[in-house]
Amino acid sequence: MSSTEKMVNVKSLKKFARLYFARKKLKEKTDEIQKQLDKMEPVLLNHLKEVESNTGLSLSTLSLEGGLTFTQHEIIYAKFPKGREEAAKVLKETGFKNYVAEGFNSTSVSALLRELSKKNEIPKEFKGIIDKNPKESLRPKIF
């Protein structure tokens, strides 16, 4: 053992290194898995929509043998095809000025859009300026 090794906590340093490299391997594996999921998810969502269209069945929730259940989930995000300035203007004009600050946040506008969408109350003035940009996902559960 070197003189430096005698002064430092070698056991803790080695444990830290093992954990650090284990985390790195897990991240690489997680990234690889995410790429596969990103490739498969839209294909499976389209497949389920085709089956729904062809059969008239609702597959928004699908339970399989073995306790595996899939739920189709949609989150609406705001997008601003005519820019943030136009979006800020129309938000103010339609009574939603509390969502607009000097640098307003698309997260809060997305939350507003989800709320208005649930009630089917999206102002016509939003059209083409603040659009719904839904992101669908598939969520498995094991019971």
Q: What is the DSSP letter of 143?
A: -
Buried b (16+ CB within 10 A) or exposed e, 16-52: eeeeeeeeeeeeeeeeeeeeeeeeeeeeeeeebeeee
pLDDT of 17: 87
Q: Mean pLDDT highest for which of 26-35, 80-89, 129-138?
A: 26-35
Tell me how many degrees the CA angle 121-122-123 measures, rounded to the nearest 5: 105
Whether the CB-CB separation of 51 and 116 falls below 8 Å is answered with no
Task: With cut-offs at 50, 70 and 90, classify the pLDDT of residue 22.
Answer: very high
pTM: 0.58
Which residues are bridge partners to 76 per DSSP?
134
